[in-house]
Structure formats: C-alpha cells, structure tokens
C-alpha cells in the first residue's frame, strides 16, 4: 500500500473492523458486476471509491436520455455511448488505481463460465429473471458469493447468496433459485412500463456495494438466508428469512 493509498483509504483504515489488512484485501479483490444501469451505477462507483482492485463490468446496452433520471454513472456526455465504457471512465476519474475491464456483451452462460471463476464476488445488477438465473447458476457452480438486487416502482429488495457447501445440509443458505424457482412464472417488470423512483436504485445499489465490500474485507455478517425489502413509499425496511429448497434444481436438493 502506497502513501497515497494510506491517505485515500484513511477513513477505512480508522475502522477497527477493516484496518490495513481489510483494505489490502479489497485492493487484492476481484469483483464481477453484471449490469451498468440503475443498480450498477452506485455499485461500481462505491466499489471503485473503496479500492476494490479489479472490477469487471458487463453490459451490452448504450446510454439513452431516459437512463439519466437514475443511472448516476452516466451523464449527457455519455449519450449513445456504451454503458460499460461510460461507467469505466467515471470509475477511472474517481480512482485511477482501480483496474477496470469493460465487456460490452450480454451475460450469457458462456461468458459467465469464463468470468465467474475468476471473481471473489459477483453483483447482479440486471433487470430480468432469465439473466439472474444464469448468474445464480454460475455462482452456485463455481462457489462464488452473489449479491443480488432488484428495484421497480417504489419497491426494492436485496440479498446475498453463499449457497455452497454440503448439498445434504439443511443449514446451508439458499440460492436465488430456492426463492424464485426457474419456470415458476415470475414476470419481469420493466422500468419503461412500470417506472422507478430515481433514488430507489441508488439505495438498493448502495446496499449491494456494502454487502460486497463486507464479504471482500471479511467484515460483519452477510445477508445470507435473509431477504431485505424496502417500501420506498413509507421508507420502511422489512426482512424475511429464506429457507433452502431441498428440491432446488440449481443448488442441489436432497
């Protein structure tokens, strides 16, 4: 850690739970972020500002004017630019010490099989169930922690999935598919048709970033086995306990 690092991250170093060792773990860590939109924007900015050393960002979309109401990693100068390139430029301006890979492509099974094994944590910042299930399956397969968030209208949810270990153990935390089974008929709700309260994605994305940083630094207790939900109308948080599905087709049932 350089003298500049000691100054930049001094407020982390003052925290007994992080200190120099925890900050060094962040500097050495690799994060994979799927999605550079509303949730991905605060995620990548906080991961970069906190000093996560290697961040791979995946998104195939370009920036449009409708994005700027909530996707704070982009601005007017980013219009018609690839989201991953726009976000990477903001991350570099914020913290040039972070190594960023910008992959302008869809997060399909082949890409996830190549990228997930190299990551210490994966953050799902997408907006559709098909991609979420692909990401979850890859994280279960490669035993990589997953932090997943969602936001629509005034409602948000976040959880952390560390669904690896002995498949026979009922104590093992659930995976995403335990809560939202593939093929269960859940319908995607698009921002373009349902709308989304601008700060909501910032709140949910910030919690995702906090969960990832805790995992990487070895601090606190993750949201494993718990789903945190936010009602933005009342600004009220609630939490439900999640149980592993012993018949889950993804994380290995009985």
Q: What percent of the chain has pLDDT over 70?
A: 92
Domain extent, residue 170, equals 12-241
Which is nearest to 208 in space by CA: 149, 163, 168, 138? 149
Query: What's residue 182's pLDDT?
Result: 85
Q: Is 175 a catalytic residue?
A: no
In a domain, 123, yes or no: yes
Pairing relationship of beta strands 236-241 and 226-231 according to DSSP bridges: antiparallel
Note the pLDDT of residue 172.
Answer: 78
253 occurs within a structural domain: no
| Mean pLDDT calculated for residue range 226-243 | 96
Burial of 169 (0-12, 13-18, 19+ CB in 10 A): exposed
Answer yes or no: is 144 within a domain. yes
Establish if 247 belongs to a structural domain. Answer: no
For the segment 101-124, the average pLDDT, to the nearest whole number, is 97
In a domain, 171, yes or no: yes
Does residue 7 form part of some domain?
A: no
According to the model, what pLDDT value does residue 168 have?
45
Beta strands 146-152 and 121-124, pairing class: parallel
Q: Tell me which residue of 169, 177, 111, 108 sits closest to 140, measured CA to CA.
A: 177
Residue 109 lies in a domain: yes
pLDDT score at 190: 63
Mention every residue, 6+ apart, whose C-beta is less than 8 A from residue 122.
Answer: 31, 32, 33, 34, 116, 135, 138, 139, 144, 145, 146, 147
pLDDT(183) > 80: no
pLDDT at 254: 44
Q: Examine the pLDDT at 66 and tell me if it is beyond 90.
A: yes
DSSP bridge pairs for 196: 153
pLDDT category at 170 given cuts 50, 70, 90 is: low
Q: Looking at 178, 191, 248, 251, which residue is catalytic?
A: 191
Count how many domains the chain has. 1
Predicted confidence band of residue 194 (pLDDT cuts 50, 70, 90): confident
Query: 54: which 2 tokens?
Result: 């290697």
Whether the pLDDT of residue 201 is over 80: the answer is: yes
CATH number at residue 83: 3.40.50.720
């Amino acid at each position: 850690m350089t003298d500049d690092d000691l100054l930049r991250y001094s407020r982390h170093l003052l925290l007994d739970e992080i200190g120099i060792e925890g900050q060094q773990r962040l500097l050495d860590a690799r994060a994979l972020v799927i999605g550079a939109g509303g949730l991905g924007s605060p995620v990548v900015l906080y991961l970069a500002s906190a000093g996560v050393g290697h961040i791979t960002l995946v998104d195939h979309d370009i920036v449009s004017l409708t994005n700027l109401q909530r996707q704070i990693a982009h601005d007017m100068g980013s219009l018609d630019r690839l989201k991953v390139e726009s976000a990477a430029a903001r991350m570099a301006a914020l913290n040039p010490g972070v190594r960023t890979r910008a992959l302008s492509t869809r997060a399909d099974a082949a890409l996830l099989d190549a990228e997930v094994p190299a990551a210490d944590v994966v953050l799902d910042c997408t907006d559709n169930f098909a991609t979420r299930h692909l990401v979850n399956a890859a994280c279960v397969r490669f035993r990589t922690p997953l932090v997943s968030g969602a936001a629509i209208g005034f409602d948000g949810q976040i959880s952390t999935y560390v669904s690896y270990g002995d498949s026979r153990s009922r104590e093992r935390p659930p995976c995403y598919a335990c809560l939202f089974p593939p093929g269960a008929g859940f319908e995607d709700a698009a921002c373009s048709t349902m709308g989304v309260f601008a700060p909501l994605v910032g709140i949910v994305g910030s919690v995702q970033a906090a969960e990832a940083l805790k995992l990487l630094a070895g601090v606190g207790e993750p949201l494993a086995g718990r789903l945190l939900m936010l009602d933005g109308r009342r600004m009220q948080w609630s939490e439900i306990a999640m149980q592993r599905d012993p018949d889950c087709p993804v994380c290995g049932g009985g």
